[in-house]
Amino acid sequence: MEEIIFVDKPAGMTSFGAVARVRRILSQREGHKVKVGHTGTLDPFATGLLILLAGKATKKAPELTKKDKVYEATIRLGETSTTGDPEGEITNTGAKLPSRAEIEAIIPQFIGKIEQRPPAFSAIKINGQRAYKLARKGEAVDIPTRTVEIYSLDILDYTAPELKIRTHVSSGTYIRTLAEDIGKALGCGAYCSELRRTQIADYKLVELPLFDLPD
């Protein structure tokens, strides 16, 4: 078999959990174990498009792993998180929340090629180990900055303290880090409270035949 599978991942499920569920369903259907792989993960709290490959299609992984992506995110201003998302320890900074005009003034500095430091709680490997595993042990995680590109960054809504954005980014961009950096630029702190991936390359979530993930 050779299949490209599009999944709208729900919040609370890991990407590897989605892979395991699809593998089980296809293996039961085919009567033998089917190889299934992903082309890029989503954080457990995030929702949206996952592209999975089954059978011989797994050979196409290199073609789909480094593609541009589009996200819609909610950034909560005035609070920080140890993980950059709702799963971490949340702290209220007590800082004054910015006006929309102040937000619009700093957005241009995040468009184009920028330097970004991936979060300690990420799947990046440090000396052969996942960074998040080291961070959970309380070990210091030093991840070097990387150059990423933000092609567009639009404000969808701002009702303090929540800023909703849509952004088109290069592969390797962390929206959690983008949210934190926006909070630092505004002087109030921030974290990404909601995240949804709506597009990978030319594959748009609303236009795709989605694979159902039954319980």
* pLDDT one-digit tens code per residue, 62-103: 888 899 999 999 999 999 999 999 999 999 999 999 999 999
Known catalytic residue: 154?
no
Give residue-wise pLDDT tens across range 17-41: 999 999 999 999 999 999 999 998 8
CATH fold of 2-66, please? Alpha-Beta Plaits (3.30.70)
Q: What is the CA radius of gyration of the chain?
A: 18
Q: Where in the chain are the domains?
A: 2-66, 69-200
* 208 contacts 198 by C-beta, under 8 angstroms: no
* Cα(134)–Cα(27) distance, integer angstroms: 34
Other Cβ atoms closer than 10 A to 187? 12
CATH number for the region 69-200 comes to 3.30.2350.10
What distances in angstroms separate CA 146 from CA 45, 131, 152, one per listed residue? 24, 15, 18
Which entry of 43, 68, 181, 202 is annotated as an active-site residue?
Answer: 43
Give residue-wise pLDDT tens across range 173-189: 999 999 999 999 999 99
pTM (2 d.p.) = 0.91
Q: Which two tokens stand for residue 84?
A: 């950059």
Angle made by CA atoms 203, 213, 121, in degrees to the nearest 5:
70
